[in-house]
Amino acid sequence: MKTIDELVDEGVGGKRVFVRADLNVPLSGTTITDDGRIRAVVPTIAKLAEAGAKVIVASHLGRPKGAPDPQFSLAPIAARLGELLGTQVAFATDTVGESARATVDSLTDGSVALLENLRFNPGETSKDDAERGAFADQLAALAELYVGDGFGAVHRKHASVYDLPARLPHAAGLLIATEVAVLRKLTDEVSRPYAVVLGGAKVSDKLGVIDHLLERADRILIGGGMVYTFLKAQGHEVGNSLLQEDQIPAVTEYLERAKAKGVEFVLPVDVVAAPSFPDLKNPVDTNPLVVGVDAIPADVLGLDIGPESRKLFASKLADAATVFWNGPMGVFEHPDYAEGTRAIAQALIDSPLPPAGGPPAFTVVGGGDSAAAVRILGFDENAFGHISTGGGASLEYLEGKTLPGLAALED
């Protein structure tokens, strides 16, 4: 996989370089509520601009239905990107149309433009190779070189991620190079003990990664909404908590495999529950109830791991040399149910030297809601070894899958 450093050494001055970024950030109206993914791609864009390239940035945002939709416009992102780069970013109001061509034609050496949402064109996400390829041809006509740096999208076989690199000389951006190096440290070059913390809503979203990590991890800690399927599989009643009954056989099999392989499965011993799901837009006190996992009332649902579970989980992370965390422990957006997620983040920061006086633990926050939670709860991002920009991409890599966007960047 060629790196951006090699590309720059070969000379990018005066050349049009297409950068596929992942600027899929959360918005409240036109206000960006978490700009982490924008900040993550700035070093690549800045490096190209400083080398004199004409930089064409492109990304998706949300899930528009293959047609323009104002609520998914990248216009607010163009403004924020310009602030972070310290320069004006030209904005094209379409992807491959008249505005895109005119905007690209107006670029000077070292300047930057952002195209409108790639998913406003149906060819971007089409499952038809010809339709996707035709859109990739139009994108390729805008540029001379391609840099893939949208790690959060590399697990998608989309035109700008998979088909476009085949049409232009290509290289991996700084972010993708970093993400791949981190994931190798979680799969091929692991320092032990290796602990994995998994949360989030649905156990079905994590089956593949659990299956793969059973062959690699020393401990797997489970929280979030997905934990209630595990608790049910152990014979506990879970009240009105989120439950995927059809996944109980798979969960039972994983618990048995873990025991046979000597992999420690750690589940909560208590949870924070309430009669109903909280209103996240009006976070008033909901009178949460702390109960043991063997005493969850029938008329409540679990919304976070409890105080004793927080202590337990922290103790299981204290001597880890490597920690991968993906998925919040509860409804962290509400203050009554944020403490479990806060405790995991703090445990990663507090990880002492592992046995035998080795280096500090290598801690990875696996993107998605986990990364958002770290920022929303006010933690210093530099206190973690790495915060990924791609939750789904990270999980699929850890499952052992081939990611189309990475395969496309191979020489």
Return the active site residues.
Answer: 37, 202, 368, 392
Please tell me whether 62 is known to bind a ligand: yes
C-alpha dist (Å) from residue 173 to 36, 149, 156: 16, 5, 17
Please tell me whether 11 is known to bind a ligand: no
Tell me if residue 28 falls in helix, strand or coil.
strand
Please tell me whether 39 is known to bind a ligand: no
Quote the CA–CA distance of 317 and 221 in Å, as a whole number: 9
**Tokens found for residue 158:** 């989309």
Strand arrangement, sheet containing 89-91: 89-91, 112-114, 54-58, 16-20, 145-148, 170-172
Quote the CA–CA distance of 318 and 332 in Å, as a whole number: 22
Please tell me whether 262 is known to bind a ligand: no
Backbone angles phi, psi at 225, to 5 degrees: -65, -25
- For the range 247-255, what are the long-range contacts, defined as Cβ-Cβ under 8 Å and sequence gap of 24 or more? 247/203, 247/204, 247/207, 250/203, 250/207, 251/203, 254/210, 254/211, 254/214, 255/230
Please tell me whether 117 is known to bind a ligand: no
Judged on CB neighbours under 10 Å (0-12, 13-18, 19+), 31 is exposed
Please tell me whether 23 is known to bind a ligand: yes
Please tell me whether 54 is known to bind a ligand: no
* Torsion, CA 289, CA 295, CA 297, CA 301, rounded to 10: 60
Please tell me whether 156 is known to bind a ligand: yes
Quote the CA–CA distance of 169 and 28 in Å, as a whole number: 37
Please tell me whether 63 is known to bind a ligand: yes
Please tell me whether 24 is known to bind a ligand: yes
Please tell me whether 167 is known to bind a ligand: no
- CB count in 10 Å sphere of residue 160: 32
Quote the CA–CA distance of 72 and 75 in Å, as a whole number: 9
Please tell me whether 257 is known to bind a ligand: no
Please tell me whether 47 is known to bind a ligand: no
Please tell me whether 60 is known to bind a ligand: yes
Q: Residues within the annotated binding site for substrate?
A: 22-24, 37, 60-63, 119, 156
Q: Residues within the annotated binding site for ATP?
A: 206, 302, 333, 367-370
Q: Residues within the annotated binding site for (2R)-3-phosphoglycerate?
A: 37, 119, 156
Q: Residues within the annotated binding site?
A: 22-24, 37, 60-63, 119, 156, 206, 302, 333, 367-370
